[in-house]
Structure 1
Amino acid sequence: MELRHLRYFLAVAEASNFTKAAEVLGIGQPPLSQQIKSLEEELGADLFKRTARGAELTFVGEVFAEEARLVLESADRASRVAKRAARGEVGHLRMGFTGTAAFNPKFSDLIRRFREGFPDAELTLHEATSGVLLEALEAGRLDVAVVRPERRRTTTLLLQDWDEEPMMVAIPVGHRLTGRKRIALAELADEAFVQVPREAGSALFDDIVAACNAAGFEPRMTQPAPQIASAVTLVAAGLGVSVVPKAITQAQVAGVIYRPIVGNALHARLAIASRRGDTSAVVSNLISLA
C-alpha cells in the first residue's frame, strides 16, 4: 500500500464516482478502478458499493477513510517539516559565545534577529572562553561560536572576522590616573596587570603584551582572571589594572573607571567560528544574519 493508493481512494470517496475522481486526479478511469480493486484485495474487504449513480462507501470504507485522511495529513505535515528543516527554519542551534561578546550590541542584535527570523528554531547558548569554545566546536558539541580569534591554525574550523572594537584601560577608583581622559600604555609600566592568561586561548593576551613591549616595557602580569568580566571585578578589588575591550565598559562595576588608550593602540576582534564543510541550514542562516 502506497500513499498514492490512499489519495486515489479518498478522491473516489469524496466524488462518489470513479469517472469524476479520475478527472480530478488526471488519470484514466480504468487504471483508477484497477488501483482501488488492488487496494480492496490487499485489505480483504470491499471499500465501495458500485451503484448505477457511482460509488458509495461501505462500512469498512468509511472506517478506512477516517484513518486514510489521518495518514495523509501526517505525511503532508512530515513533508512540510522536512522542507522547513532543509531551509533551516526548524532545528537546534548550539551557539557559544565568549563573555565579553554578550556586552557587544552586535551580538544581542544578532540573537534578536535570529529569533525573529526563525522562531521555530531552538537556540541554546553557552558561555566560555574562546579556547574552550573552539575546542567544543571542533568536538561537535557546538555548531557555531562568537570568539576572540586565536593565533593557532586549524584546518577543521572556519573563522570569519565579524567586529572590531578599541581596547580600554580599567583602573580602580582613586587610582593616580583617574583624572586623565586618555591613558598612554607607557604610563602603566609600573602597574600590576590583571588579565585573562594566554592559556585561555584568545590572541588578546599576546596583543596586549606586544603593545606594551612597543611602549617600552614588559607588563607585570600578577593576577590571572578566568574571564575578562572577572578581571574587571578584580580591578575593583584593587589588585591591579586591566586592558579590556570597550564593550565590557557596559558592565558598570562599582569601583572601576574606564579610560581610552592614547592613539588607539589596541583593538579587540570578534569572529564567527564554524566547522568547515558544515552543511547545516540553521548554521548558514545564523551566519548569513551576522
Structure 2
Amino acid sequence: MSSSLPPSVPREVATLRTLRIAKHFPFFLAVAEEQNLHRAAERLNIAQSALSRRIADLERELGNIELFERQARGVTITPAGEMLAHDVRRILLAIEEARRNVGRIAQGELGTLRVSFSEAMLRRPVLPAVLREFRAAHPEVELRAFPLTSDAQRSRLLADEIDVAFVIEEATDREQFETLHVGQDKFVLVLPADHPLAAKQIVSLHEIAGEPLLWPARHTSPRLFDRMIAAFDARGVSPNIAVEVSAVDIGYELTASGIGLGIVTAARADRTPPGVVLRDLADLDLPLPLSMLWPKGSGSPLVRQFVELVRQRVAESEG
C-alpha cells in the first residue's frame, strides 16, 4: 500500500482489505468477460448463486459500487466495472510476471552477481575470460565487478556486500569460506633496463640489499607487507623501502623513472612497458596462492553457476 494512507487507516487494516478485494478478482473477471452469470459460473465450475454472492461481496468491499447492471438476459458491465476489469488484468499480468521472475531467479537467469578481485587476479587470463563468458551466457544478470585488496574483499564477503572474491589466499580462508584454488603468483623484481643487475636472469635478495625499493603498500595489504618483511629478514636482508606503491603500474613507472627497484606481483613480461625488465628473485620464499572465495552454504544459483564456470576454466588452463 502507499505510504500516503490516512492516519486513521492502519497499514495492517488496509492490507487485509486489499487481500479481501483481490480474492474476488478471478470471479469478477470471468463475469466481465462472459457478460453472463450462468456462463461465467460454468467456466469457473461453481454454482451461479455462489458467483452472484462473490460479485456482491466485491461491490460491498469497494464501497457499494455497482460493477454490473443486472438484466433479464444477463449482466452489463458498468463504467466503474470496465475500469476495474482493466486494472485487474494489469494486476494479474504483473503477478504472473512476478511468478516467472521468481522462477528465473531460482534458475540463475535473473539477479545480480557481485564479483571482486585483486590486481593479481585481474592480470591473469582466467578471470577476464570467465567474466566475458558469464556475461554472454547470462545477459539479463547484472554483473558488478569490484577491484579490491584481498583484505577488503574478505571484509565485504563477510558483510554480504559481495558474492565471490578472488584473493591471495590466507591460512584462515578455509575456515571462513568455501574456497577454490585458481592459480599461483609470485613476486618479481622490476629493474630499469640499463641497471647492472638487468644483465642477470635471476637476482638474489643480497644483491639488492641497500637498493631503494618500491614496496607493496602497508595500508592496502598489511598482512602481505608483514610477510614480505619476514621473508627478507629470514635471508638476513633489511629492505630499504623508498616508496610504498598500491598498484603494479605505479611500480613500473617509478622504476622507469629511476626512483627505485620494484617488487611486484602478477607481472607479465609481454606487458612490461618500455624501459624496464623483469627478473626472478631466487630466494624470496613467499608463495602467493590465489583462491576464489564464496560464503559457506551459499544457496545462490548465480554463485553456483559462476563457481562451476571458474572451476571448468581453471581445470582447462591447468590441463
TM tier relative to shorter chain: 0.7 to 0.9
Find the partner of 1:8 among 18, 24, 27. Answer: 27
In 1, the alpha carbon distance for the partners of 2:287 and 2:178 equals: 21
1:258 maps to what in 2? 278
In 2, the alpha carbon distance for the partners of 1:26 and 1:173 equals: 87
1:18-167 equivalences under 5 Å are 18-43=37-62, 44-51=64-71, 53-152=73-172, 156-165=176-185, 167=187
Greater Cα shift, 141-150 or 104-113: 141-150
Structure 1 residues 209, 173: CA separation in 2 closer, same or farther (over 3 Å shift)?
Answer: farther
Contact 2:193 2:276 in 1 (8 A): yes
In 1, the alpha carbon distance for the partners of 2:205 and 2:83 equals: 86
Q: How many residues align?
A: 287
Find the partner of 1:176 among 196, 199, 216. Answer: 196
In 2, the alpha carbon distance for the partners of 1:27 and 1:250 equals: 76
One-letter code aligned to 2:237 = E
Deviation at 1:173, TM superposition (A): 1.0
CA distances 1:15-60 after superposition (whole Å, capped 9, x unpaired): 3334443454455554434322322332313323445554432333
In 2, the alpha carbon distance for the partners of 1:75 and 1:246 equals: 50
In 2, the alpha carbon distance for the partners of 1:266 and 1:24 equals: 75
Structure 1 residues 19, 244: CA separation in 2 closer, same or farther (over 3 Å shift)?
Answer: farther
Q: What is the RMSD computed on CA atoms of the aligned residues?
A: 3.7
Unmatched segments (≥5 aa) in structure 1? none
1:218 maps to what in 2? 237
Deviation at 1:121, TM superposition (A): 3.3
One-letter code aligned to 2:214 = V
Identity %: 29
Greater Cα shift, 105-114 or 53-62: 53-62
In 1, the alpha carbon distance for the partners of 2:225 and 2:183 equals: 14
One-letter code aligned to 2:132 = R
| TM-score for both structures, normalised by structure 1 | 0.77
2:278 counterpart SS class: strand
Structure 1 residues 253, 178: CA separation in 2 closer, same or farther (over 3 Å shift)?
Answer: same
CA distances 1:168-215 after superposition (whole Å, capped 9, x unpaired): 4422211224344x42546745455433156614658737964x788x
Greater RCO (Cα-Cα under 8 Å, separation 6 or more): 1
Unmatched segments (≥5 aa) in structure 2? 1-19, 311-319
Contact 1:132 1:201 in 2 (8 A): no
